[in-house]
Chain A
Amino acid sequence: MVLKIRKLALLCIAPAILATGCSRKNETAPSGPPLSQNTVSYFKVDPSTAASITGTVHYNGKPTPRKPIDISEDPACVEAHHGKPYDESVMVSRKGELANAFIYVKSGFEGKTFATPSEPVAIDQNGCWFRPRVLGIQTNQVLKVVNSDPVTHNIHPMAEVNRAWNHSQGAGDPPLNRKFTKSEIMIPVKCNIHGWMRAYIGVLDHPYFAVSKEDGTFTISNLPPGTYTLAIWQEKLGTQEQQITISPRQHAVVDFNYKGK
């Protein structure tokens, strides 16, 4: 009888243990697919044949005077900006050189995979202004979003190929570290709070891009020899393309001209 009772108890307890045991196991079981071995081999540039492209972006014509931007609706921004803000959509020097144009290799790297740089690219919200206004980044490289202002910003990259997102960042908050996974020329960036703030991000799966400086110059270096389509983008003046063939160790000069009104 005692034995029977014991057996009965065991019979009752055993399935319970089994049941909870099993459900536990299910909870801890890995849910994702098994990790595949990373077999990607990155393209390496041969330093003995590496070439470069330098050039200047010109604006032919009389530049229209830059319009002042009214940021008075946020007094904290007025204080943070230090000086009067002006429209930066067409930045032409006295000599007719165009800044903030994005120059990049549009085609010629088919089949090649480039390593992602480990150092991030920074964009700062400073004086209720994005700095820099135009920047390039590689796919999966970290975009470090900094808020140096005493006010809250809400950065909003309005991506179409990549996932669009927006994120609030208060004064003194740590940087955001975000990535774009696909090539996209260009992603307009706004601040959801301060409507005048604008930036443009070019995302490419290779490192061959540059932004023209105040004197209109740009440099693309460590380029393997080959035939490429070199393209330029400017937020107001549009895009242009040139076919170029680069021989080993060549320091090619390629200029771009935008016609003014």
Chain B
Amino acid sequence: MIQHRIEHSLMMEKGRRILFVCICFLALLAVFGCKAKPSETPLGTPVSVHPPLGLPAVPIPSDNPPTTETIVLGRRLFYEPKLSKDDTLACAACHNPQHDFTDGQALSKGFGGAIGVRNAPTLLNVAYQPLQFWDGRALNLEQQAASPIADPIEMNQSHEVSVTKLARDSVYREMFQKAFGSEDVTLGRIEKSLASFERTLLSGNSAFDRFEYGGDKNVLTPAQVRGLALFINPQKGNCAACHTLNPNYALFTDGKFHNIGEGVADDGTIKDPGRFHQTRIDSDRGAFKTPTLRNVANTAPYMHDGNLKTLRSVVDFYAGGGNSNPYLDKEMKSIHLSGQDRSDLVEFLNSLTGEIPANVGPPQKKE
């Protein structure tokens, strides 16, 4: 009995001790954990991004104003293969500046040659998109930036490993110091830097912009002028219903999601649920984000699955009304466009190629 009591009180004592340790640990975490979390507020020289002709002001999140230092860091990170498991794939592997920030493939190749499920979209003018990814699953560029790094069929590296790898590099430690005030490498800092760099990837001042917004009425060919008229005519091409133009600028996307019938299988089912995966709204089945048409002449192949190889095949696809399925967007209808009309539309699309800004390619070694 006594023995039992002693055991009991010993156990009580042990329990109290465990509780005490737990409380102490939590207290320590509260005090030092928070205090130790490095600031993710960008420091350095503020940068105001001046959009080229044909583009509106770049939307900037209040907690990530771009600075020279974060942009330089983001650029280096964008071309950094250490962000992949075997040090071979950078963001630029699929968003290659030589292909106007796409990879020229129908579906992208990720870690170990794994084939992705969707076509790599251009990053040009990505700063204006209200949601990121084909299905809009990221709410902003900061949220988007780190996702492919950890994706097993993309760069396949946990964020912890990425942070550790970068922290071993004195060049990065110095860059993080300049950009955020301490040498600490954090996921939030990586995301913010990448996003700030991506906000500089602007394409405007194309032949179309000089014609439409610059008053140069001779810059487009007659075929391109005819193509523009078809593009905006709701009774003809009706392209601008989703690839929108404004009186003062043109993003060529409404930022919304539409089912155009791409990816309908032989049995009539939709191969990729697209936006539905996020919203679970039935009408979103097979709907994907309207891509920008900026520099579209250089970003073949097309559509979320890269199934259409040429601009002509894209225009033909729409001329035929796409592929029927129960969730087809109401703006999709068979339209009569002659061969000439379709050629003119392709010519117009060729006028949307703007200059890619300087200082967005791979950084020099010593930079």
A residues 136-161 in Cβ contact with B at 8 Å: 151-154, 156
| Complex CA distance for A5 and B322, rounded to whole angstroms | 63
CB <8 Å contact, B316 and A75: no
A261 to chain B, nearest CB (A): 32
- Closest residue to A163 on the B side, CB-wise? B268
| Complex CA distance for A73 and B264, rounded to whole angstroms | 29
CB <8 Å contact, A1 and B340: no
B271 at the interface (CB under 8 A from A): no
Partner-contacting stretch, out of B9-17, B80-88, B117-125: B9-17
Partner-contacting stretch, out of A97-105, A169-177, A225-233: A169-177
Q: A77-B339, A167-B264, A168-B261 are in contact. Are A3 and B322 (CB under 8 A)?
A: no
CB <8 Å contact, B339 and A176: no
* Neighbouring B residues of A195 by C-beta, 8 Å: 336
CB <8 Å contact, A1 and B338: no
A193 at the interface (CB under 8 A from B): yes
CB <8 Å contact, B266 and A178: yes
| Per-residue B-contact encoding for A191-210, CB less than 8 Å = 1, 0 else | 11101000000000000000
| Complex CA distance for A88 and B290, rounded to whole angstroms | 42
| Per-residue B-contact encoding for A7-39, CB less than 8 Å = 1, 0 else | 000000000000000000000000000000000
A254 at the interface (CB under 8 A from B): no
CB <8 Å contact, B339 and A75: yes
B363 at the interface (CB under 8 A from A): no
| Complex CA distance for A151 and B340, rounded to whole angstroms | 14
- Closest residue to A195 on the B side, CB-wise? B336
Q: A154-B320, A166-B321, A193-B316 are in contact. Are A3 and B11 (CB under 8 A)?
A: yes
- Closest residue to B325 on the A side, CB-wise? A165
A165 to chain B, nearest CB (A): 4
CB <8 Å contact, A152 and B321: no
Tell me the count of chain B residues lying within 8 A, CB to CB, of chain A: 29
* Neighbouring B residues of A151 by C-beta, 8 Å: 316
| Complex CA distance for A73 and B339, rounded to whole angstroms | 5
* Neighbouring B residues of A170 by C-beta, 8 Å: 308-309, 313, 316-317
Q: Which B residues have a C-beta under 8 Å from some C-beta of A?
A: 11-12, 14-16, 18-19, 261, 264, 266, 268, 308-309, 312-313, 316-317, 319-324, 334, 336-340
Q: Which A residues have a C-beta under 8 Å from some C-beta of B?
A: 1-5, 73-77, 151-154, 156, 163-168, 170-171, 176-178, 191-193, 195
**What are 21 residue pairs bridging A and B, where the CB atoms are less than 8 Å apart in the complex?**
A1-B11, A1-B12, A1-B16, A2-B15, A5-B15, A152-B317, A152-B320, A154-B334, A164-B324, A165-B268, A166-B320, A166-B321, A166-B323, A167-B264, A168-B317, A168-B320, A170-B309, A170-B313, A192-B321, A193-B316, A193-B337
Given contacts A5-B18, A166-B334, A168-B261, 5 further A-B contacts (CB under 8 A): A4-B15, A152-B316, A167-B324, A168-B320, A193-B320
Closest 10 CB pairs of A and B: A154-B320, A1-B15, A152-B316, A74-B339, A192-B320, A73-B338, A192-B334, A165-B324, A170-B313, A2-B15
